[in-house]
Amino acid sequence: MNKMWKLAAAGGLLAAAMTARGAPAADEHPAQMRPFNLPPSADLSYSISARQRGFTLNGEATLSWRQGDGKYTINTDSRVALLGKLTENRSTGTIDSYGLAPNEYYDKRFRKDPVTANFDREARTIGFSDGKKSYPIKGGEQDRVSISWQLIGVARAAKDKFKPGSDWDFFVVGPHDADPWTFRVIGREKVQAGAAIGTVDTIHVLREPPPGSKDQTLDIWLAPSLEWYPVKLKFIDNDRDYVEQTLEKITRK
């Protein structure tokens, strides 16, 4: 069941992998400034279905997204029947000229102690609670919770540039290290969300690990008609186990 914790650990929204096609070394990442337009604050509720080692699991994930007055907070958790809460993730920070500027990323997984990544804006360094690595802050760095909302903000501002075949590069911090990520826009697709939402026109975005990697593939379906909120996400492990999340409810804030 360890794979379930790893797959769900992205706070219901994200997975981790290294980008393909000539990504720069982690300590050589460039600053990344693009126009952005963040979506309005909301609470999002998702249903979870998963296949792990031949078992089918069902549950729910919740996400609280708040932005305003130059600050943001993202809180997520996921639960499955019988086991209860699997994960709790949090990203807090400010909003600067690059977009979301995390101050702290928090990751708590089932039966494990929480770990954090801290963005020291004065020292311009990123450190971790295990103290093993550090990275420079150059501008635009994200964490595994904030990245989806930075992607949404960029997509909302990009308009016609966010088109099939286009690639969008980011530098993403996890609980212990950081990697370059690339999202590729696949195309427009209709997605069946929860009963309260119905069928939605979406833009499908894919993040694949490089060849030979044992990391996960992440698919995100963003809904322009719903402020570009993610209406579906699917994490596929290298052995084809998966976790799929479907949006059931949006509460505007």
Q: How confident is the model at residue 27 (pLDDT cuts 50, 70, 90)?
A: low
DSSP letter, residue 176: S
Reduce the secondary structure of 213-240 to three states and give it as a string: CCCCEEEEEEEHHHCCEEEEEEEECCCC
The answer to whether 177 and 162 have CB atoms below 8 angstroms apart is no
In the chain, what are the helix, strand and coil shares in percent, each to the nearest 5? 10, 50, 35
pLDDT of residue 82: 73
Q: Does the pLDDT of residue 21 top 50, yes or no? A: no
Per-domain residue ranges for the chain? 2-252
75-112 confidence digits (pLDDT tens)? 999 888 777 777 899 999 999 999 999 999 999 887 78
pLDDT of residue 11: 40
pLDDT of residue 213: 65
Q: How far apart are CA 122 and CA 133, in angstroms?
A: 18
Q: Does the pLDDT of residue 125 top 90, yes or no? A: yes
Assigned CATH for 2-252: 2.40.360
Helices and strands (H, E) in the chain, number of each type: 2, 15
DSSP labels, 116-165 = EEEEETTTTEEEETT-S-EEE--S--EETTHHHHHHHHHHHHHGGGS-TT
143-162 confidence digits (pLDDT tens)? 999 999 999 999 999 978 99
Q: Worst-scoring range by mean pLDDT, 3-12, 65-74, 147-156?
A: 3-12
